[in-house]
Structure 1
């Protein structure tokens, strides 16, 4: 596939340097193609296809919103063990589009499966016949607008004609750029690890900048591995590792209709069979998958709409993880906290307010609060050595750490968020203009 460098660097508001990203290269069993379907009325890539020549095992976690996009409905309805392609479009969420939106998925799946089946015949000695139920979709963009079926349909032949089976850093970055909406930079991460004595790769890309809040808060995230792992174990691994990664972030407290995280396993690595999720051979893979997901989740927060600060909220020593999570998100989603951080104001009273409104039972005589290394509250009282000017200086940092100690138990949870700036309002006020 020839790299269209104009498209590579003209995604909206992209200011990233290529050197900022990990060196994702080739992963067996995955092919990528991206083109412009003119969905933005510009030449930027807005349509990305991932093709699994021999099929891929898969597992997904989707939004918990009660209103979901038609592509999510389509994906949930498909029960096939192996997937051969994922098509992702931007600019249009295909949400609140009803039967017509769902039928667009069905028609595109029929076209893609037919053309990929022909490609199998052209490229392989033992071709597979690909069925429509072996195609998945990702959609992101504006809710409620008619799905641009004709524009996308017209570009399917180009996508398939441009498929190449060898990947590199530029192709992965091009794909990550192609799925962006209000993001300012592409999001990529990778890890290499062992399953037993076999080396395997885990690659991931994501998009997300606004409408980010758990259950599930990812916008879109796609993980690819050459490991040989069953659908059942992939599902358990993904569900387990979502908890402290994509379900630990919030930009603005809003859950999308389209959120999805999907992992694809091409089975190309010759690792020994994994019996179950507790198989010791899987331990390093489990840890590496968590690292990739957390890396991508943090990139989503760092690129939050209008963000000027990256905020880590550690809530420690709670009676339950649920309580720690409630307190963490109460702080992370407080507009008053987020605007104070944007203004570099050490207004710790807003943190106290957010802890109190979380609904968690507290013993104030045990509550402690710290900004970075600066102790503000110790055992329910203002630190006698508290110096506001010192904390004010700390608030000028890009990365802000808030540590809350409840001292009612031993459970903890870390939440990641960003500040709330005037730029956030500008971006969302102008979103469709």
Structure 2
């Protein structure tokens, strides 16, 4: 399955180079395929399949929006303990499509189960019949448009035919490109670590550029490991690490109907059995998983629609996590803050405004604010040697760090966001054209 360089051009990623990304290679038990189902007017890969020939344990977190897509409804109804396939389409969110959208997934799942069951007969010594209850869906794109059931169904035979059992970097790149919508760059990350003495891999891909704000999850993210971990352990690890990674980012303050992050374990590495996430043998795995999730999350923010600057908002010494998070996101979601940063304006008053509107009680006499290493507010007052020209120079940086010290407790929270530029308006004004 060669890498189609047209995908780079058609998805505006022609400036990306392969060496900008980590070397994701083969991970035992995961197979990948990507094809063009003609969901866009221009030819590009828009349908991606992950196939677990021996099944995979799994866990997912989903959007907490009160309006959810039909594929999220489907996934929530899955009762199987193992997943055989994950299929992701772009261009169409399958949200607000009602019974027709759900029926479409049912038809596609049936076709996938037939095709993969035949592949099992062809390739396996002890073939298994694959059920449509062992298939997860990811959908992304425009809300409210008729779901392209027939186009996707017709593409399933080709998708199954092109499955590659041995992976390499171009194949992972092809999959990451295939799930993109308004993204400019594919998002991939990896870590290797040990559980006990067993070496394991954690690979991940994600998509997201707009409609990004956390509410359990924030975009589409898919994580894979060859470690042997139960559904329960996967779920606890994912929920533990999601709050400071995928739930710590915002591009525009909007939560999608389709958000999901899923974590799959092929159990191909026979590591020590883990029954508790506090087991010392899984400490390094826990850290590696957080690293992969944070890496993907930051890539989403850096590739935010129209973004020219990556912004980190650190709130430290808060009374509790909840209040630290409220202040961090009050700043990160403020259009006035984001436009000032886009214009490289050292208007620290907008930070003060955002802290104030968070509705968190603070001791103003203890408040400190700094941009990068430049201290602006100390104990609630403008520092005596403050020079706006120094901050103006700092604002020209591509990465902007804003630090808020409340000096009221021991809890911290870091949010990640991007600036708001004219390009964001252009992208979203022309999104469906």
Matched, 1:393 2:393: yes
Q: Which segment is superposed worse, 347-356 or 209-218?
A: 209-218
Aligned to 2:257: 257
Where does residue 157 of structure 2 map in the other structure? 157
CA shift digits 1:6-53 (9 cap, x unpaired): 335432455311110000000000000001111112111100000001
Q: Which residue of 1 is the match for residue 329 of structure 2?
A: 329
Q: In structure 2, what is the Cα distance between the partners aligned to 1:11 and 1:182?
A: 8
1:94 corresponds to: 94
Whether the 8 Å CA contact 1:323–1:360 is kept in 2: the answer is yes
Q: Which residue does 2:237 correspond to in 1?
A: 237
Q: How does 1:338-417 map to 2 (within 5 A)?
A: 338-417=338-417
Shift in Å, 1:277: 1.3
Measured in 2, the distance between the counterparts of 1:66 and 1:321 equals 25
Give distance in 2, aligned partners of 1:416 and 1:290. 15
In structure 1, C-alpha distance between the alignment counterparts of 2:104 and 2:341, rounded to whole Å: 44
Partner SS state of residue 192, structure 1: strand
Number of matched residues? 433
1:280 corresponds to 2:280 = yes
Change beyond 3 A, Cα 1:370–1:396: same
Which residue number corresponds to residue 212 of structure 1? 212
Give distance in 1, aligned partners of 2:58 and 2:248.
Answer: 23
Tell me, in whole angstroms, the C-alpha distance in 2 between the residues paired with 1:238 and 1:40.
Answer: 33
When structure 1 is superposed on structure 2, of 418-427 and 6-15 the one drifting more is 6-15
Cα displacement (A) at 1:147: 0.2
Partner of 1:431: 431
- In 1, Cα distance between equivalents of 2:195 and 2:9: 37
Secondary structure of the 1:370 match is strand
Q: Secondary structure at the match of 1:294?
A: helix
Summarize the Cα distance change of 1:17–1:48 in structure 2 as closer, same or farther, 3 Å threshold.
same
How much does 1:217 deviate? Answer: 4.1
Conserved 8 A contact 1:217-1:250: no
Query: Structure 2: how far apart are the matches of 1:305 and 1:372?
Result: 24
**Equivalent residue of 2:278, what SS?**
coil
For residues 370-418 of structure 1, the C-alpha deviation after alignment (integer angstroms, 9 at most, x for no partner) is 0001000000000001000000000000000000001111100000000
Q: Deviations over 1:261-285 (max 9, x none)?
A: 0000000011011121111111110
Contact 1:182 1:209 in 2 (8 A): yes
Give the CA RMSD over aligned residues.
Answer: 0.9
Instruction: Report deviation, 1:218.
Output: 2.6
Query: What is residue 186 of structure 1 aligned with on the other side?
Result: 186
How far apart, CA to CA, are the structure 2 residues paired with 1:188 and 1:216? Answer: 21
Q: Does 13-22 or 392-401 show the bigger shift? A: 13-22
Secondary structure at the residue paired with 2:340? helix
Aligned to 1:3: 3
What is the distance in 1 between the residues matched to 2:207 and 2:251? 13
Alignment CA distance shift 1:3-1:14 (3 Å) = closer
Distance in 1 (CA, whole Å) between partners of 2:157 and 2:330 is 48
TM-score of the pair, normalised by structure 1 = 0.99
Q: Tell me, which stretches of 5 or more residues in structure 2 are unaligned?
A: none
Structure 1: distance between partners of 2:82 and 2:6: 35
**Unmatched 5+ residue regions in structure 1?**
none
- Cα distance in 2 for residues equivalent to 1:395 and 1:2: 42
* Displacement of 1:3: 3.3
TM-score (norm 2): 0.99
Distance 1:294 1:3 in 2: 26
8 Å contact kept, 1:217–1:249 = no
- Residue by residue over 1:283-340, the C-alpha shift from the partner in whole angstroms, topping out at 9 and shown as x without a partner, is 1100100000000000000000000000000000000011000000000000000000
Contact 1:216/1:255, CA 8 A, preserved across alignment? no
Match of 2:75 in 1: 75
CA contact (8 A) 2:113 2:132 kept: yes
User: After superposition, what is the alpha-carbon deviation per residue over 1:54-106, rounded to whole angstroms, capped at 9, x for unaligned?
Assistant: 00000000000000000000000001000000000000000000001001111
Task: Name whichever of 239-248 and 12-21 sits farther off.
Answer: 12-21
Distance in 2 separating the partners of 1:352 and 1:147: 45
Corresponding position: 1:39 with 2:50: no
CA–CA separation in structure 2 for the residues paired with 1:11 and 1:397: 27
Matches within 5 A, 1:130-149: 130-149=130-149
Partners of 1:370 and 1:400 lie apart in 2 by 11
Contact 1:47 1:88 in 2 (8 A): yes
Task: Show CA shifts across 1:113-154 (max 9, x none).
Answer: 111011000000101111000000000000000000111111
